[in-house]
Amino acid sequence: MAGRLVMRGIALAYLGVLLAVPVGMVMVKTFEPGPVAVWQAVTTPAALHAFWLTLLVTAVAVPLNAVFGVLAALVLVRGRSRLRPVLDVMVDLPFAVSPVVVGLAMILVYGRDGWLGGWLADAGIRIIFSVPGIVIATMFVCLPFVAREVVPVLREIGTEQEQAASTLGASGWQTFWRVTLPAIRWGLAYGVVLSTARAVGEFGAVSIVSGKISGQTETLTLLVEKRYTNFDMAGAYAASALLAVIALATLGLMALLQRRKDTA
Amino acid sequence: MISVTGVSKRYGDFQALDEVSVHVTPGALTALLGPSGSGKSTLLRIIAGLEVPDAGTVTLAGEDVTHVSPRHRGVGFVFQHYAAFTHMTVRQNVAFGLTVRKEPREKAAATVDRLLDVVGLTGFQHRYPHQLSGGQRQRMALARALAVEPSVLLLDEPFGALDRNVRNELRAWLRRLHDEVHVTTILVTHDQEEAMELADSLVVLNHGRVEQVGGPRELYDAPASDFVMRFLGPVTETPRGLVRPHELVVSAVPEPDATEAQVARIVHLGFEVRAEMESGDGSRITAQLPRAEADALELEPGQIVYVRAPHAPRPAEPDTEEDLVRV
């Protein structure tokens, strides 16, 4: 009994020092100058633009990754291709590669002197230092989440429900929409929430490919960094608080989904 | 008429089916019986279209369907573990086949109502599968398969995951259902008792080959091989071949053609008594005799008795008349 209390104490202290105290401090610091100053700091044109840009990037990257993630999971669990092990490793690549390296790699491919860069410039398409680059970088770093959440669920449900559907006359498409997708829905939703959290908070890769042009390619995380390096501490805290609010909302959603997933 | 002709199927090094041919009578209930790994489930899945054979053909009602998708075969399939659509209610499960076929709503609703009544789940139609017992889930799966009016109903060890009482109850219920609905049914089972009780006709499979086809009585009385004989019930080996334990005659005094044996153990089975004996050469003999007979012999361990087989051992030439004379 006493041993269990000690264990619990150590775990809570660990989490407190590592997570709760620093995040709490940001909140405290944010509101030190008073609510009016905070409101002003998060409603400057640059801050508003950064906020909407972050939401836009997330809104494009996450659904695309959700579709890709479900397809990848289907291939990983049901596919018979010999390329399956390759895909398996590829899906995990973003976990292993540092986001900064992802950013640099993108410059090498899409940059002005990059592999596709010249061709893209001729076609009038701009990727680096513009929103498409931010979206691609964000998609890269969020890639594994949906697939990794859906794969175990697909394994668990097996193929019998789908086989039953086919003997009952359902086409492949009908089987996917009516049987497979509802069966994986909680895993998929959880993967989407994780991707969203990651997309909103992405810094490294985006910082390299965006060019950090205020009011154009500056996301919330980049704004925090800029204000911090410009010694605008109050502004940095306020922008951080905005990020934290988005994070808390996703966290709440995550807890809710986790419960549904466990009971489903 | 369902015909399977020369069907073979390999999984890697494992020969699941080896040139199997089976013809199923319309309207009958046929059991595919065999131990695990005998190929019975593979054969059923090939008939359903869930597996494609490496060689051979499957015809349903005269049409070659070997490479036709399961959704166009008009078969109903019931899985051992129910394969219930977990996110749908009982009603939605049963209606699934009609929904994807875009049947008119009122007609579909009437069909579903009727089937829920047939399987006794009317009061459970708004429940989800996880709120049902195993037996109820399997009845739901049967209703779901019957809803699309299949030309053949395929049951893959449908009672295998249920406990004994529920299994016996569902068995009797399935037999009654079949007598009412008369849909051609193929049942896969490893349980010879289940096959004997339910089926009009049995196909015994072993190592991917058909050992014998026939009615329950025919197979029991005239098994074509030692394997069939052993699979359909307990056997005792005699120097001349296999016999059923209840066919042995045990006597306290020496008789012509009888083997001397010592009683090792007596097991009371209620109406009958099983006597486990050992003969002079060390081979084990098991006889099963009515209790009155055992009491008359005053059987007890250590006793010396004389055992003979009045029937010709089987499987042998069905020339049994002569051997019966000695009784």
Q: Nearest to residue B182, comparing CAs of B148, B143, B153, B214?
A: B153
| 3-state percent breakdown (helix, strand, coil) of chain B, nearest 5 | 35, 30, 35
The pLDDT-based confidence of B316 (bands split at 50, 70, 90) is low
Distance CA A133, CA A106 (A): 8
Average pLDDT over residues B53-68: 94
Smallest CA–CA distance, residue B300 to chain A, in Å, is 54
State residue B313's pLDDT score. Answer: 66
Smallest CA–CA distance, residue B142 to chain A, in Å, is 11
B-interface mutation test, from A154, A156, A168, most B Cβ less than 10 A away: A168
Q: Do A167 and B70 touch (CB under 8 A)?
A: yes
The pLDDT-based confidence of B325 (bands split at 50, 70, 90) is very low
Q: Is B84 on the interface with A (CB under 8 A)?
A: yes
Determine the residue of chain A that is closest to B75 in CA distance.
Answer: A167
CB B56 within 8 A of CB B6: yes
**Is residue B324 over pLDDT 50?**
no
Q: Do B85 and A160 touch (CB under 8 A)?
A: no
More confident residue, A32 or B46: B46
A-interface mutation test, from B77, B78, B137, most A Cβ less than 10 A away: B77
Q: Nearest to residue B148, comparing CAs of B230, B77, B67?
A: B77
**Is residue A24 over pLDDT 90?**
no
Q: Do B86 and A183 touch (CB under 8 A)?
A: yes
CB B242 within 8 A of CB B71: no
pLDDT digits (tens, 9 = 90+) for B113-149: 999 999 999 999 999 999 999 999 999 999 999 999 9
Determine the residue of chain B that is closest to A264 in CA distance.
Answer: B87
Query: A interface toward B at CB cutoff 8 Å?
Result: 157, 160-161, 163-171, 174, 178-179, 182-183, 185
pLDDT digits (tens, 9 = 90+) for A32-80: 888 888 888 888 999 999 999 999 999 999 999 999 999 999 999 998 8
Smallest CA–CA distance, residue A157 to chain B, in Å, is 9
Of A166, A167, A183, the CB nearest to B87: A183
State residue B319's pLDDT score. Answer: 44
Q: Nearest to residue B209, comparing CAs of B42, B26, B25?
A: B42
CB-based contacts of A33: which residues, under 8 Å, 6+ apart?
A234
Of B48, B71, B85, the CB nearest to A161: B85
Beta-carbon pairs below 8 A across chains A and B: 65
Helix (H) or strand (E) holding B64: strand B63-64
The pLDDT-based confidence of A183 (bands split at 50, 70, 90) is very high
Determine the residue of chain B that is closest to A175 in CA distance.
Answer: B100
Domains in chain A and their CATH numbers?
A: 36-263 (1.10.3720.10)
pLDDT digits (tens, 9 = 90+) for A119-137: 888 888 888 888 999 999 9
Distance CA B12, CA B268 (A): 48
Distance CA B43, CA B31 (A): 12
Q: Average per-residue pLDDT in chain B?
A: 89
The pLDDT-based confidence of B59 (bands split at 50, 70, 90) is very high
pLDDT digits (tens, 9 = 90+) for B162-198: 888 889 888 988 998 898 888 999 999 999 999 999 9
pLDDT above 70 coverage of chain A, percent: 98
More confident residue, B2 or B326: B2
Q: Do A163 and B148 touch (CB under 8 A)?
A: no
Of A161, A169, A178, the CB nearest to B71: A169
Q: Do A166 and B96 touch (CB under 8 A)?
A: no
Q: Which residues pair with residue A249 across a beta bridge?
A: none
Q: Do B85 and A179 touch (CB under 8 A)?
A: yes
Q: Nearest to residue B25, comparing CAs of B215, B206, B220, B209?
A: B215
State residue A246's pLDDT score. Answer: 86
A186 vs B contacts (CB less than 8 Å): none
Bridge-based pairing of strands B29-33 and B184-189 is parallel
Q: What is the ipTM of this complex?
A: 0.85
Q: Average per-residue pLDDT in chain A?
A: 90
B128 vs A contacts (CB less than 8 Å): none
Smallest CA–CA distance, residue B218 to chain A, in Å, is 34
**Is residue B44 over pLDDT 70?**
yes
Distance CA B310, CA B323 (A): 7
State residue B315's pLDDT score. Answer: 65
A187 vs B contacts (CB less than 8 Å): none
Instruction: Please give the angle made by the CA atoms of B68, B71 and B74, to the nearest 5 degrees.
Output: 90
DSSP per-residue string spanning B236-291: EEETTEEE-GGG-EEESS--TTPEEEEEEEEEE-SSEEEEEEEETTS-EEEEEEEH
Of A157, A168, A183, the CB nearest to B97: A168
CB B244 within 8 A of CB B309: no
**Is residue A259 over pLDDT 90?**
no
Which pTM was predicted?
0.83
Determine the residue of chain B that is closest to A169 in CA distance.
Answer: B71
CB B214 within 8 A of CB B191: no
- CA dihedral for A165, A167, A170, A174, sign (positive or negative): positive
Of A163, A168, A185, the CB nearest to B96: A168
Smallest CA–CA distance, residue A166 to chain B, in Å, is 5
Smallest CA–CA distance, residue A249 to chain B, in Å, is 27
Q: Do A167 and B101 touch (CB under 8 A)?
A: no
State residue A250's pLDDT score. Answer: 85
Of B48, B84, B101, the CB nearest to A167: B48
A170 vs B contacts (CB less than 8 Å): 71, 96-97, 100
Q: Is B32 helix (H, G, I), strand (E, B) or coil?
A: strand
